[in-house]
Amino acid sequence: MRLFTATMLITATAACDKITEICTEVGCNGSLEVSFVREAWEDGTYVVTADLGDGNVQTCSLDLSLTAELSCDFFDVTYDGTTLTIPFATPMNDGLTDVTITLVRGDEVLVDEVIAPEWGEPYYPNGEECDAGYGCLSAEWVFTL
């Protein structure tokens, strides 16, 4: 029995030299956090859109009133009476540069701008080798209205 155990231990140790990196498929959770600062927000429905390029358009509709309905599909929206903040999900991408942001209330366009956020250093949830150099990117942008 001891000879069998010793043989298995040697075999297992030798096999360790041949282990290659195993990549996981952890999703990217980078974000572009866009804030709109305004002293007085009028009641109404506001629609915020972020066009991240390559067909990646994210839209959020918000009812700012006494009840302040802040539910968006997958956005964690915050509103404190003067600042409305929406974090848009960003894809793994090494070429993400300009983003078009719009904010509309009814027929009134409050913001329609192409911004060039200063993206932080990318991070790689699966390791840089596994993510083929495409890291998760995050940034912040503030509009004062």
Domain assignment present for residue 130? The answer is yes
The answer to whether residue 10 is domain-embedded is no
**pTM summary value:** 0.72
CATH of the domain at 84: 2.60.40
Nearest to 126 by CA among 27, 12, 13, 14: 27
Tens-binned pLDDT, residue by residue, of the chain (145 aa): 554 444 444 444 444 454 456 777 666 777 899 999 999 899 898 999 999 888 889 998 888 875 666 667 656 788 888 999 998 888 766 567 889 999 999 999 999 999 999 888 888 877 777 766 677 888 999 999 9
Determine how β-strand 57-64 pairs with β-strand 78-79. Answer: unpaired
Cα R_g (the chain), whole angstroms: 23
User: Is 53 within a domain?
Assistant: yes
Which range marks the domain in which residue 53 is found? 28-144
Report the alpha-carbon distance of residue 13 to residue 136 in Å, rounded. Answer: 36
The pLDDT of residue 29 is 72
Query: Does the residue 18 lie in any domain?
Result: no
Distance (Å, rounded) from C-alpha 124 to C-alpha 132?
9
What is the predicted pLDDT for the residue at 69?
62
- Tell me if 1 is assigned to some domain: no
Residue 21 within any structural domain of the chain: no
Both tokens assigned to 16: 């360790």
**Helix or strand run (H / E) with residue 110:** strand 108-115
| Domains contained in the chain, number | 1
Is residue 72 situated within a structural domain?
Answer: yes
In a domain, 99, yes or no: yes
